[in-house]
Structure 1
Amino acid sequence: MEKIAKIIFENIVSGQIERNLGAKLLETLKNESVSLNENEVRSNSYENMAIVGMSAKLPKANSLDEFWDNLRHGVDCISDFPETRQMDVERLIQYTYMKDKEITYSAGGYLDEIDKFDYKFFNISPKEASLMDPVQRLFLQTAWNTLEDAGYGGEKLTGSRTGLYVGYSGWPMYGQFVSHVEPASFEISVMGNISAIISKRLPQLLNFRGPSMLIDTACSSSLVALHLATQSIRTGECDQALVGGIRILLMPVDRIISYGIESQKQSKAKAFDESADGTVLSEGIAAILIKPLSKAIKEGDHIYAVIKGSAINQDGKSIGITTPNVAAQEDVILRAWKDAEIDPQTISYIEAMGTATKIGDPIEIDAIQKAFRRYTDKKQFCAIGSLKTSIGHTDSAAGIVAIIKAALALKHKEIPPMVHFERPNRNINFDQSPVYINDKLQKWVSEDSPRRCGVSSFGFSGTNCHVVLEEAPEAAFVQERAAVEPQIFTLSAKSEGSLLRLIERYTEFITNNIDLDLADVCYTANTGRGHYQHRLAIIFEDRNDFMQKLDLAARVPFQQINEPGMGILDEMCKLYTKGAEVDWEKLYEGKKRMKVRLPLYCFENQRCWIQNSDLNNSKVTKPKDILKEITFNF
């Protein structure tokens, strides 16, 4: 439309179109454009959403592959607090009321490290990075990885109507420590410790123009964020949206915070089990990228799963302010099914909240049973599980991490086991229930309908959310098999070290995925990644040629690699490696190619933490107490 308007305007100026006629043409064009936009919004309002990108950093899992491998093998990811992180905590403890007390740490689901960040990649000074809350740093890198996983890395979405919805329920503890440990730096630390800025960092980098916001409904924050993002796309506020959740435990000391009606005697979350005694603390950073399903299919996106529908509601008045409400939970599930327009009998798995408490577990099962009983009397046809038993409770990130688990299960057509289940809660009669505990890895079989599942998240704020997922269409994108012809493959990074690590990752990746269409690999790498200072371009004829040249690039200094090329392709690669901006999309015009999952950028993370000579030497004079004891019981 813009090009047509420009042509009309230029012809009016040159006198080739009479001014009044030109004005009428422009007005007509404007009205047509508005009509098209309204039709697009109307179309989106009934559309399913596709999950096209995902990334997560979780206990004992720094990648989706590691996460899925842990799930399917029933790995218990609960552990003691890492010794490598204890020193930082013990130094900060000197600024709290616990400075003279013996410190013990809660067992939980912990990340190996939270103090590292590639500040150079994001053009942030080391000083500013050290003053930033780890939450901001870690989410920025996870969000970037999510865009790359979807094939929309680099500047591919720059200036687009991309929304950003983040579930986060923390408070600025790190910023408070900065104010006491490095008071002279407090002023420049403010933006790095205001929670709302979490949802501003990526839009600032990539000029996103869609809605951007932080959602806090406690445990249901990130699933509510997904629901709101879906609605935003349907109403035309954004074209696609990145949705995430964050949970970091800066001070996992027993006296500071505890979860559950009782302390976890066994340090295990045993959802729906008779011996359940509360959940376990956990950390996690996760994000997904969603867009309308029809656009994902048209644009050749890799689709993990389809979001069929969702709903949110509120407990309202209940026995206690944090006590779950069975009627509200039933209602939100029914509303999600209605929004998804599916037969509830086709739901064959539910990823439950699984509070692992004597009260919460029976209430959740009762709500699910009542919802199903409105449609069927069938028994034990729907498996149920809870991620908490594997990695603990990631709080505000729990919903989006559960979505990732469910999407991976749909993708692999397997239902992973729920661990630590031995004997059912005496107040739950699974024999007469539509649901059954899935305590072993099983193939996910579905004969008469696509595989479908539900994901629940109930916040102790009273805000509930349920989402219905469906497996990706089998033939989501009909592509052309590339003719036997030379291919160009490009890689780049902001440092030589990162580039070498990327080469290693690609070598392993190509070796382990023999069925990959290498034309799709090149298309995704060339068009779906950023292009930085350190560059590599490879022209190859077949798989063996590609592997040999990758191996050569890993062993020989880049300056010494210069094999004879192939005419125009050779010239294009030479210009690219010298820093030229190449529009790789034009190389694939008229070709139907598919985005595929590829290795992600290798960040060169360096330590970024509060610096103070007294703090580092554990010599602190007159510190102010900035923590008070907080206990949540639910």
Structure 2
Amino acid sequence: MSDGAGGAGESGIAGELRRTIVSRLSQWYGLDPAEIDDDRPFAELGITSRDAIALTADLRALTSVQLPATLLWEAPTLGRLLSVVEAAVGVGETAGLPAPTPRSAPAQPPGGASSAVAVVGIGCRLPGGITSPAAFWELLSAGGNAVGTLPEGRWAPFLPDGVPPEGINRHGAFLSDVAGFDAEFFGISPHEATLMDPQQRLLLEVARESLDHAAIPAPGLAGTRTGVFVGISGNEYAQLTTADLDAVDAWTPPGVALSIAANRLSYALDLRGPSLALDTACSSSLVAVQHAVRSLVSGETDTALAGGVNLLLSPALTLAFQRAGALAPDGRCKTFDAAADGMVRGEGCAVVVLKRLADAERDGNRVLAVIRSTAVNSDGRSNGLLAPNPEAQRALLEQAHAGAGSELDYVEAHGTGTALGDPIEAHALGAVLGQGREPDQPLLIGSAKTNVGHLEAAAGITGLVKTVLALHHDELPPHLNFGTPNPLIDFDALGLRVVDSPEPWPRYSGRATAGVSAFGFGGTNAHVVLEEYRPALRKAPMPG
């Protein structure tokens, strides 16, 4: 391991590169060159996104090589950066993405009939008054925007005088009612219901609606190996129910425990399969889908309810994200656009009913789409705890698609709408899924966040539901707020195109296929591969 000072023996371009990098970091942050270790992430040295781009520009000028603006996310340490830039200089051409590290084959390769899982039902409560899959599809296909402003009184219980802080961002994709709940229907007393996190109430109702949509009678699942897998990360309601210690009672803990969000549903319906609440931040609900799929494929579960829920009950996180510069001031998520300047927060709940495809066909269920494979990984030690890792995103896509990505039609991107997050995701998609394509068959991309905001713990399942509906309706709905492409993304070179107007599903391979991505801000990444359902052709019986 060497440090900034220890590289004095290097000569030529390597020494010049090291001296330039160490000089800039020392000048900007007052660092001793000895602190700039080859293996220490730049984020730990305090480098900002703006300075990372400026340093990349300095290296471009020094080497005369067209280095990508996302270079310091591709190579997050001094040692890695030197290696990548030296390699680019050596071949004398535009620096491409670092070659992916060879990896073992995925544990669950796509395409096997035994691993196919059917989506047979959907329930959803989403911004814009959406209370059904049909209403969600109507919003999507019409290019609707469900982002509004803070409902009157929403944050009042969390504020001493009931008035939100001056200047706080009031944009968001909100539900019209987060308090209403049919407690009697679920056999829950009024007192217990009052102490229940509204996320639990919402999940109970939406899960029941998903079973109704699947035409599966809920009472018939009692005592069966039906699993519940829920993505949930917010526990703001606990601040209210535990604020007055004199009012705390036996119903307080189950009312706010994240685990109970799944367990209460299993209890209410008497379901005997796994019952898990998962928190991986913004990838929580897609990770929940991955666990549900694995449970079905292994035979542990026969039917699964998988989904996520998110409510914005307190102003605290909105204020924190605003101060971090993560929120779009105009309340528009402008994913992949040159004007991308942050996300807009959203709330809602969605649940899908899953069964093994063979079982769904046997039972005569309506199959909306088929899940062919799933993958989950972590960023590991990236350029900071909250920074995305391009290599991990590429590895995730490689694992999920196992070399079959060149014929993929569409990816529902994570796509939060940030100036650097979007290019990092686009470059990963291009490197793994966009290469080797015919010019008239680009990988199509879009994001539901432009319609309904970023639903955080429920974001992944919202993207999945959008994609299932698009497959079912044989149409790709428009991606909004896309006027001028982000200049840091060469869409043509990457083999990508944003779906900015409605269009028929292209079926490059003859079968409609799609991927869905979700990334947690702590580094947990998830991807699901979907395809349209085509009933197996059955031979007619021989005439007697």
Residue of structure 2 equivalent to 1:327:
391
1:50 aligned to 118, 125, 134, which one? 118
Q: Runs of 4 or more off by more than 3 Å in structure 1?
A: 43-46, 98-105, 252-257, 259-263, 373-380, 474-479
Matches within 5 A, 1:598-617: none
Name the aligned partner's letter for residue 68 of structure 1: W
Q: Does 1:307 align with 2:371?
A: yes
Q: Highest CA radius of gyration, 1 or 2? A: 1
Q: Does 1:82 align with 2:143?
A: no
Q: Does 1:431 align with 2:492?
A: yes
Residue of structure 2 equivalent to 1:204:
267
Q: Deviations over 1:162-198 (max 9, x none)?
A: 1111011112x21221223573244332211111111
Residue 118 of structure 2 contacts residue 356 of structure 2 at CA under 8 Å; is this kept in 1? yes
Please state how far the C-alpha of 1:449 moved relative to its aligned partner: 2.0
Scaled by the length of structure 2, what TM-score is found?
0.74
1-side partners of 2:401 and 2:343: how far apart?
28
1:298 aligned to 362, 365, 377, which one? 362
Residue 305 of structure 1 contacts residue 411 of structure 1 at CA under 8 Å; is this kept in 2? yes
Cα 1:163–1:429, aligned 2, differ >3 Å: closer, same or farther?
same
Name the aligned partner's letter for residue 266 of structure 1: D
What SS does the aligned partner of 1:166 have?
strand
Please state how far the C-alpha of 1:444 moved relative to its aligned partner: 1.2
Residue of structure 1 equivalent to 2:518:
457
2-side partners of 1:188 and 1:425: how far apart?
50
Residue 229 of structure 2 contacts residue 278 of structure 2 at CA under 8 Å; is this kept in 1? yes
Scaled by the length of structure 1, what TM-score is found?
0.64
Residue 57 of structure 1 contacts residue 286 of structure 1 at CA under 8 Å; is this kept in 2? yes
Residue of structure 2 equivalent to 1:390:
451
2-side partners of 1:345 and 1:103: how far apart?
47
2-side partners of 1:430 and 1:298: how far apart?
43
1-side partners of 2:164 and 2:500: how far apart?
45
Residue of structure 2 equivalent to 1:248:
311
Please state how far the C-alpha of 1:104 moved relative to its aligned partner: 4.8
Q: Does 1:111 align with 2:175?
A: yes
Residue of structure 2 equivalent to 1:360:
421
Q: Does 1:128 align with 2:196?
A: no
Name the aligned partner's letter for residue 137 of structure 1: R
Segments of structure 2 that go 5 or more residues without pairing to the other structure are 1-110
2-side partners of 1:78 and 1:176: how far apart?
26
Please state how far the C-alpha of 1:363 moved relative to its aligned partner: 0.5
Kindly tell me the number of residue pairs found equivalent between the two proteins.
428
1:148 aligned to 212, 221, 226, which one? 212
2-side partners of 1:183 and 1:107: how far apart?
36
Cα 1:370–1:305, aligned 2, differ >3 Å: closer, same or farther?
same
Residue of structure 2 equivalent to 1:158:
222
2-side partners of 1:469 and 1:391: how far apart?
22
Please state how far the C-alpha of 1:127 moved relative to its aligned partner: 1.4
1-side partners of 2:167 and 2:239: how far apart?
20
Please state how far the C-alpha of 1:443 moved relative to its aligned partner: 1.2
Name the aligned partner's letter for residue 192 of structure 1: G
What SS does the aligned partner of 1:196 have?
helix
Q: Does 1:318 align with 2:365?
A: no
Percentage of identical aligned residues: 38
Please state how far the C-alpha of 1:365 moved relative to its aligned partner: 0.6
2:160 aligned to 91, 94, 102, which one? 94
2:302 aligned to 227, 239, 243, which one? 239
What SS does the aligned partner of 1:220 have?
helix
Please state how far the C-alpha of 1:138 moved relative to its aligned partner: 0.6
Q: Does 1:418 align with 2:486?
A: no
Please state how far the C-alpha of 1:373 moved relative to its aligned partner: 5.3
Please state how far the C-alpha of 1:103 moved relative to its aligned partner: 7.8
Please state how far the C-alpha of 1:93 moved relative to its aligned partner: 1.3
Segments of structure 1 that go 5 or more residues without pairing to the other structure are 1-42, 480-634
Matches within 5 A, 1:329-344: 329-338=393-402, 343-344=404-405
1:273 aligned to 327, 333, 337, which one? 337
Name the aligned partner's letter for residue 329 of structure 1: Q
Residue of structure 2 equivalent to 1:66:
135
